[in-house]
Structure 1
Amino acid sequence: MSTLRSWSSDAALAVAITLVGLVGTTIANRWSETALRPLDALGLALVAAAGLSLVLRRWQPEITAGAVALLTSAYLVLGYTYGPILLSLLVAVYSLARHRPLATSVPVALGVLAVLLVHVFTTSSGLPGLLGVIPGSAWVAVPFAVGSVVRVQREAVARDRAEQLRQRLDDERLRIAQEVHDVVGHGLAAIKMQADVALHVLAKKPEQAEVALEAISRTSSDALDELRATLAVVRRSSAQAPGLARLDDLLQRMREAGVSVELSTVGEARQLPPVVDLTSYRILQESLTNVLRHSGDKRAEVTVEYAADAVVLTVANPLSGSTGGGGGLGLPGMRQRVASLGGEFEAGPTADRRFTVHARLPTGGTP
């Protein structure tokens, strides 16, 4: 469709310039006092051929520029008056510089200039000799410069668009990686802990092992459901991404995995923007998963505060074992999530020997 539109626009331009050339040349011939030859059918044919050649200006600019240069030079060498045929030359040279790189366009433009300047040294209708080179060269140099500038600007815009697209794709890949990391990492950490418990008590207390295995089954099922929901959101389907409304389910899974969790809610719970809701859930999920993985004393206190213009999340646990989130996407991923929303994020040990994750996510002043 775009190709047909381009052909149509070029054909319309060629016809328009041809008509302007024929009418303008006829008028110019009546008022010209320097023409060496009166306008005749051959002159009009040269004008028409030069204008119609522009139909190929976008697809074959080298051929178009060469053909128009030969027709224009022949027109001037034969002694016809200066006129609108030079408009065809301007468009042809501009198109050459606009649609071809300098390595191709410069040699062709120099050839066009050489062909055009033939009339300066063979006729007496214009400035004699070298004095005619400067104005004659301008018919090539000016449109070539304009076309080159336009081409460079368009290429810069295209590069910027390509870079923006690449950045969006990279951001999307990172977002998907973070989502999958949070879902799978949390589920596997809980399953591993429950499996260790089952193995430990299997011989002596098989009934407790059965409880642990049932918890593994529920945790794996929940993790699969959440992963499917996450992938469905990535595919832009109607599935709903997890949010703080599913916080109780998350805390229940953590308790079944062996983490004692206390939840405190400050302020009245309200509907959050979807991206803030999902980010809040992921931060709490990753923080509690880190407690499960790295804390020797598996206790955590979770606080969710609904402020006037933000939701504030705090997860604190006694400082024991490793204090980090591993070398993966844990803490860096949470920090990046919060930063992308213009929020504040802090994580680290405190003076009372606790490891605290604190995040403040703006909600846009939602009351």
Structure 2
Amino acid sequence: MNLRRWPPAVVDVVVAAAVAAVVCVAIHIAYEPGAYPPDLGAYFLGTAIGAALLARRTHPLGVLAATTVLLFVYYTVEYPGIEPALPLAAALYTACAAGRLKWSAGVAAFFVGADLVVHGVRLGDPPLPLLTNIVQDSSLLIAVMLLGDTVRNRRIRLAEAQARLEESEAQREREAAQRVTEERLRIAREVHDIIGHSISAITVQAGLAQDVLKDRPEAAEAALRVVRQAARDAMSELKATVGLLRAQGEDEWSPAPTLAAVDDLAELARQAGVAVSVTVDGEARPLPGVVDASAYRIVQESLTNVVRHSGAQRAAVGIRYLPRELVIEVNDDGRGPSASPSGPPGFGLTGMGERVAAFGGQLETGGGADGGFRVCARLPVEEQAEEAE
């Protein structure tokens, strides 16, 4: 019979009825010379001791107090003595399970002491049988209290374990949501970098072709070739990005752009009318893929901003390979940070900042020493390379 499957109210009724029956049986068979014979009042007290347990879930200490009072009244009337462990056991267990161990120990000690005084001093029972009864009652009461306290501790541990599981699940959900957000931001950066740079080149070259179409058709034809190539490059990079997102395994990933293609970025900017120089300081060395691709995107976005917003005639791209970091610096001679681009603000600088922050690097943007606008990104390299290994 599994009581755990029963409704709590039914369990309480069964426990109360069982205790009441046991106490009434003990009263019926109890015998003590000179005691007042059991009557209806004695059985009423025994039944009341059991009935008090109906409130054990909501008022555990109150049940212990009621049981103590009822049992004290029973002994005061001088009905035949019964062992206190029988009526007290359920109430003590309930109180200890509710965290009232000290109160329970005090009540148990009081009745054991009273039993010792009554039988040892008043009735003059022999020492050995008296000691045996006291030890038996004390052992039963201690066992019941320890059981109740053990059940309480187990419930606490289960509740803590459940709370940890819920917190762990919530943490996993937060981390999953954060990863989704980070992935969306990464995709947004990739698409912005690809489309922004290519569309800028296409816009500038299309405008040039329109301006010189009648007077210089050969120049218009060259500009349209640039437009066509920029569109192809954009489609190629978009396909690579989409392929990377769809890939199920590392072997299916398309190669990401790297600093090796920085001259192509500079050439597109030159074709848009900006004189771009590229300088490399230090010994070029292989970089972790994510660092290399991010450095490429930073140069790409910087030159896109130069072409679209700065009105610059010249721009300088500097790449420095230092022992522990890679420094990307782009300077132009345009209007500087006070220039307000037409249309709504973009996400280029924000995307660059996110890329650099992802590696624990630093990004500086603002006016250059000789005017214009300056972008300087510092990407830790040695640490990233170690992680990649």
**TM-score band, normalised by the shorter chain?**
0.5 to 0.7
| Among 329, 338, 341, the residue aligned to 2:347 | 329
Relative to structure 2, which stretch is displaced further, 69-78 or 232-241?
Answer: 69-78
CA pair 67-154 structure 1, distance change in 2 beyond 3 A = farther
| Among 213, 218, 232, the residue aligned to 2:229 | 218
Flag structure 2 segments of 5+ consecutive residues without an equivalent: 23-55, 72-81, 98-147
- Residue type at the aligned position of 2:327: V
For the residue of structure 1 that corresponds to 2:286, the secondary structure is coil
| Among 199, 203, 217, the residue aligned to 1:188 | 199
Matched, 1:297 2:312: yes
| Among 356, 371, 374, the residue aligned to 1:338 | 356
2:92 corresponds to which residue? 134
Q: Are the aligned partners of 2:309 and 2:339 in contact in 1 as well (CA < 8 Å)?
A: yes
For the residue of structure 2 that corresponds to 1:207, the secondary structure is helix
2:335 corresponds to which residue? 320
**Which residues in structure 2 correspond to 1:1-367 (within 5 Å)?**
49-50=1-2, 63=6, 110=57, 127=85, 129=87, 132-137=90-95, 138=97, 139=148, 141-236=152-247, 237-320=252-335, 323=339, 327-364=345-382
Answer with 1 or 2: which has the greater Rg. Answer: 2
Shift of 1:146: 3.2
- Residue type at the aligned position of 1:255: R
2:115 corresponds to which residue? none
For the residue of structure 1 that corresponds to 2:328, the secondary structure is strand
Q: Are the aligned partners of 1:126 and 1:132 in contact in 2 as well (CA < 8 Å)?
A: no
Shift of 1:235: 2.9
Identity %: 38
Cα displacement string for residues 235-255 of structure 1 (whole angstroms, at most 9, x for unaligned residues): 343211111122222222222
For the residue of structure 1 that corresponds to 2:375, the secondary structure is strand
Cα displacement string for residues 219-262 of structure 1 (whole angstroms, at most 9, x for unaligned residues): 00001111111222233432111111222222222222222210
CA distance in 2, matches of 1:126, 1:149: 36
- Residue type at the aligned position of 1:263: V
CA distance in 1, matches of 2:298, 2:230: 19
Q: Are the aligned partners of 1:265 and 1:303 in contact in 2 as well (CA < 8 Å)?
A: yes
- Residue type at the aligned position of 1:133: A
Relative to structure 2, which stretch is displaced further, 152-161 or 300-309?
Answer: 152-161
- Residue type at the aligned position of 1:182: D
Q: Are the aligned partners of 2:311 and 2:335 in contact in 1 as well (CA < 8 Å)?
A: yes
Shift of 1:323: 4.3
CA distance in 1, matches of 2:321, 2:328: 9
Relative to structure 2, which stretch is displaced further, 274-283 or 237-246?
Answer: 237-246
CA pair 135-110 structure 1, distance change in 2 beyond 3 A = closer
CA distance in 1, matches of 2:8, 2:292: 61
Counting matched residue pairs gives: 279
Cα displacement string for residues 273-294 of structure 1 (whole angstroms, at most 9, x for unaligned residues): 1110011001000000000001
CA pair 248-64 structure 1, distance change in 2 beyond 3 A = farther
- Residue type at the aligned position of 1:208: A
Q: Are the aligned partners of 1:319 and 1:353 in contact in 2 as well (CA < 8 Å)?
A: yes
For the residue of structure 1 that corresponds to 2:284, the secondary structure is coil
Alignment RMSD (CA, Å): 3.4
For the residue of structure 1 that corresponds to 2:171, the secondary structure is helix
The normalised TM-score by structure 2 is 0.63
CA pair 71-172 structure 1, distance change in 2 beyond 3 A = farther
For the residue of structure 1 that corresponds to 2:85, the secondary structure is coil
CA pair 72-172 structure 1, distance change in 2 beyond 3 A = farther
Shift of 1:268: 1.8
CA pair 319-250 structure 1, distance change in 2 beyond 3 A = closer
Flag structure 1 segments of 5+ consecutive residues without an equivalent: 1-48, 55-61, 80-108
CA pair 216-320 structure 1, distance change in 2 beyond 3 A = same
Shift of 1:355: 1.1
For the residue of structure 1 that corresponds to 2:382, the secondary structure is coil
